[in-house]
């Protein structure tokens, strides 16, 4: 039985920002903080299978691709990486990229990597707060400047860069060619309203991703049978033994998390392993299942 206030760990990135507010006070004196990783406060345990992040972009990220489990294991990695994005804020010109404008052969893809023309072949789409994107393993993708994104992913460092905007970092051409789906991808993710409080964003074999919206001062129980992450994206709450507000996260497993929403209510992103849990939230005020 576990309920922990997640430790927020910042990482410098060449495409990051100096000021993470209002999501965090960290990095105010740094130059390029690009990511916050949320980790268990008990570092002696086996790392969770999911990794929750915030991304802060002041420049475009590399064009990249992740392997599936089978390929990752064939090169000695524990698993591949499928991930999902939820846009928290976006400047008017902010964009994300997913897939290519046309299908390429492997040799054509190699040529576009070699000469950099792949930067003109990815499909860029405007990004808006509340947008959800599934980035399945094998999908060529990128994130543009001017975004704050919440990301949930399989815990993996397996990223193969195809183009890096002249930053001089290593490209991973052979691995990228081996795993990339060199064609168009589907941007469309249609959230499903499950109840007044729950919206299903994405569910696949690796994780389920939801948004919850709790009314002011309401009292709930979050059933965290499997590995579960809660990220506060608006408002506040008392979660288990902890007071949480914007940018805070809680990890729970094999436990029930009592949630008392604050005076402005609570909006949160919940991610957990496995498929959809129908009775994830129980309203203790009304004793009804939500």
Looking at the annotation, which residues are catalytic?
161
**What are phi and psi for residue 253, nearest 5 degrees?**
-155, 135
N- to C-terminal Cα separation, the chain:
23
Q: How far apart are CA 288 and CA 158, in angstroms?
A: 42
Q: How far apart are CA 257 and CA 255, in angstroms?
A: 6
Write the CB contacts of 13 (distance below 8 Å, at least 6 apart in sequence): 32, 33, 34, 35
Nearest Cα residue to 55 out of 100, 104, 22, 20: 20
Write the CB contacts of 216 (distance below 8 Å, at least 6 apart in sequence): 261, 262, 263, 264, 265
Q: Are 59 and 32 in contact (CB under 8 A)?
A: no
């Amino acid at each position: 039985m576990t309920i922990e206030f997640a430790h927020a760990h910042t990482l410098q990135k060449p495409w990051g920002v100096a000021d993470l507010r209002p999501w965090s006070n960290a990095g105010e004196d740094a130059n390029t903080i690009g990511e916050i990783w949320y980790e268990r406060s008990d570092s002696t345990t086996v790392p969770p299978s999911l990794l929750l992040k915030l991304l802060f972009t002041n420049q475009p990220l590399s064009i990249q691709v992740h392997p599936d489990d089978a390929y990752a294991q064939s090169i000695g990695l524990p698993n591949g990486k499928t991930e999902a994005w939820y846009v928290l804020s976006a400047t008017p010109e902010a964009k994300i990229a997913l897939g290519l404008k046309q299908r390429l052969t492997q040799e054509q893809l190699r040529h576009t990597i070699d000469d950099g023309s792949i930067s003109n072949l990815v499909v860029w789409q405007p990004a808006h707060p509340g947008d959800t994107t599934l980035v399945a393993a094998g999908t060529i993708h990128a994130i543009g400047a001017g975004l704050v994104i919440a990301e949930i992913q399989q815990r993996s460092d397996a990223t193969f860069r195809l183009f890096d905007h002249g930053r001089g970092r290593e490209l991973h051409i052979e691995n990228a060619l081996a795993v990339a789906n060199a064609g168009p991808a589907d941007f469309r993710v249609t959230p499903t309203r499950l109840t007044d409080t729950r919206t299903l964003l994405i569910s696949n074999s690796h994780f389920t991703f939801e948004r919850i919206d709790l009314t002011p001062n309401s009292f709930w129980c979050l059933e965290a049978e499997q590995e579960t992450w809660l990220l506060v994206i608006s408002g506040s709450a008392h979660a288990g033994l902890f007071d949480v507000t914007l940018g805070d996260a809680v990890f729970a497993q094999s436990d029930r998390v009592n949630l008392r929403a604050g005076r402005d209510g609570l909006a949160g992103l919940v991610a957990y392993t496995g498929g959809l849990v129908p009775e994830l939230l129980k309203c203790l005020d009304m004793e009804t299942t939500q």
